[in-house]
Amino acid sequence: MQMNTIKKQQGFSLIEALVAFLILSVGMLGIASLQTMSLKSGHTAAMRTVAVMKVEEILESMRSNPTALLSYSAGTADMGVDNGCSQTTVAAANCTPAQMALDELFRWKNSLIEALPNNAATTASVIITPAVPPQTLSLIVVTVNWNERDIETGTAAAMNYSVAVQM
């Protein structure tokens, strides 16, 4: 009778365990990197969504006050004027369309600065090109600029959103 001289392997060797751990570690580092990129993209998308909503907000104000379109453009050089037109007072009832436009612009710019990051660098502009006959629609360009922190470099990254509409 011949004896088996070959032993069956039992368990893992240390080398096999180390190789498996190395493969698992590389995979986990890849997942962590992907998670960081996902968070950065999510934050940028959220800020861009805020900018889009704020631009739509001022455009809707302009649509509701079409006689004072040029007042919106004139008011972007500064912060607009708080005329109290948005309050339910007797003074608000006596606001002209131009005063209403400057008041809406004042409130819009303040809410924009509060909503976007690094509010000291947040700027906005409304440029209106009046209609030239025979055209009847004015060209309105609204641009919002803000700075975000770039996760990779640690510096400020300039972001902007601009829309052009005819009204």
Q: Percent helix, strand and coil across the chain, each rounded to 5?
A: 55, 15, 30
Domain ranges within the chain, ordered by starting residue = 14-166
pLDDT tens digits for range 62-96: 999 888 888 888 766 666 677 778 766 655 668 88
Q: Please, which residues bridge with residue 155 across strands?
A: none
At 22, is the pLDDT very low, low, confident or very high (cuts 50, 70, 90)?
A: very high
CA nearest 115: which of 41, 162, 163, 52?
Answer: 52
Q: Name the DSSP class of 96.
A: -
CA nearest 163: which of 139, 141, 131?
Answer: 141
* Structure tokens, 88: 């339910």
| Complete edge-to-edge strand list for the sheet that includes strand 123-129 | 123-129, 139-149, 156-166
At 54, is the pLDDT very low, low, confident or very high (cuts 50, 70, 90)?
A: very high
pLDDT tens digits for range 106-140: 889 888 888 887 666 788 888 888 888 888 888 99
- d(Cα 141, Cα 60) in Å, to the nearest integer? 13
